[in-house]
Amino acid sequence: MTGYAVATSESAAGTLTIEIKSVNSRFLDLQFRINDDLRALEPDLRSAIMGAITRGKVELRLSFGRKAATTGTQALNLPLLTELQRLQGEVSGLFPGVQTMSAAELLRWPGVIEEAQIGQESLQADVAALAARTIEAFVTSRQREGAALEAMLISRIEAMEGIVKRITPLIPQVVAAFQQKAVERMQDALGLACQGSNSALSRQDALERIRQEVILYGIRIDVAEELGRLSAHLTETRHILKKGGQVGKRLDFMMQELNREANTLGAKASVKELADASMELKLLIEQMREQVQNLE
């Protein structure tokens, strides 16, 4: 599902900002945009997101804006200055009269002036707290979309239940019509048998034709079982949505089962009403399938 959240916090060293956004995906795909000096925190952020969601293409941005240096925030690196002094003494011993570095040059030496650094543990704790707050808001935004998707799926379930309810009373009429056709074909077959010169052989042929017609009749009109399974699958789909939680994979499976029954219904359709109902069902199932792939 899509989702978006951003949060900011202030620390002694600067401003932390975490932004999380996602688009639909059948699987979990994580991407991180993090300052190099905070790259070590990526594993903790990855674990936090994986503990909250299981689907979606997710991008997390973590930025850290340090505060400008102020009075009292800078200090001399005395150990480094001591080491530089020792090295200058050795160089002077090897090369008498060599010019030593001035105070200005020493101050420009990398690392001689250092800013007060926030502790790594403190920074990690600040990022963890901010990440938890951002992920919570992110999950909430996805839940709002999930509620809208649930309402859409329920409406499709109700539409399919209406179709099943509409065509179920037609089955006895379809059975009666096919029964009448079977009887007529049997009578035609028996009539042909009576006209034959070899009555024993003609009767055997007629019985075989009758058997074939009855088998075809049974296969063609038996859609009550499909309608029963459709109703059961729709009830289970509604139950899964009502139960909540991580429903994506279970609903994927239910869409396959619903589509199988709708296809069988279409294959066995002997009247236009059943064929139309099969097409309507498959259209609704496909609409559900597209959205189910976005649910966790």
Most confident of 15-19, 124-128, 146-150, 267-271: 15-19
pLDDT, mean of residues 133-140: 93
Q: Which of 181, 287, 269, 171 is nearest to 220 (CA)?
A: 269
pTM, rounded to two decimals: 0.59
Partners of residue 33 on adjacent β-strands? 61
Lowest mean pLDDT among 123-132, 200-209, 238-247: 200-209
What residues are paired with 22 via a beta bridge? Answer: 3, 58
Residue 220 is encoded by which pair of tokens? 């063609």
Specify the pLDDT at position 294. Answer: 72
Rounded (10°) angle between helices 199-221 and 248-268: 150
Query: Which amino acid is it at 105?
Result: E
pLDDT grade, residue 213 (50/70/90)?
low
Mean pLDDT, residues 269-281 taken together? 87
Which of 44-48, 150-154, 238-242, 269-273 comes out lowest in average pLDDT?
269-273
Question: What pLDDT score was predicted for residue 39?
Answer: 86
- In 3D space, the residue among 96, 131, 121, 103 whose CA is nearest the CA of residue 19 turns out to be 131
Contact 30, 58 (CB under 8 A): yes
Which residues, listed in sequence order, are joined to residue 21 by a DSSP beta bridge?
4, 59
Q: For residue 248, what pLDDT is reported?
A: 81
- Local confidence band at 15 (pLDDT 50, 70, 90 cut-offs): confident
Greatest mean pLDDT range, 169-178, 239-248, 253-262 = 253-262
155: three-class secondary structure by DSSP? helix
DSSP codes, 176-220: HHHHHHHHHHHHHHHHHHHHSS-HHHHHHHHHHHHHHHHHHHHHH
Least confident stretch, 13-22, 189-198, 212-221: 189-198
What does 32-101 look like in DSSP terms, one character per residue? EEE-GGGGGGHHHHHHHHHTT-SSEEEEEEEEEEEPPP-TTSEEE-HHHHHHHHHHHHHHHHHSTTPPPP
Predicted confidence band of residue 232 (pLDDT cuts 50, 70, 90): very high
Question: What is the per-residue pLDDT for 6?
Answer: 93
| Residue with more model confidence, 221 or 171 | 171
Mean pLDDT of 144-159: 90
pLDDT at residue number 171 = 77
Q: Which residue has the higher pLDDT, 118 or 146?
A: 146
Predicted local confidence at residue 234, as pLDDT: 94
Distance between CA atoms of residues 194 and 207, nearest Å: 12
Instruction: Give 45-97 pLDDT, tens digit per residue.
Output: 999 999 988 888 899 999 888 765 554 556 778 888 888 888 888 888 888 88
Q: Is the pLDDT of residue 194 over 70?
A: no
**Average pLDDT rounded to a whole number, residues 110-128:** 71
Please compute the mean of the pLDDT values over residues 281-296 and round it to a whole number.
87
* Tens digits of residue pLDDT in 172-190: 777 667 766 766 766 676 6
pLDDT value at residue 157: 95
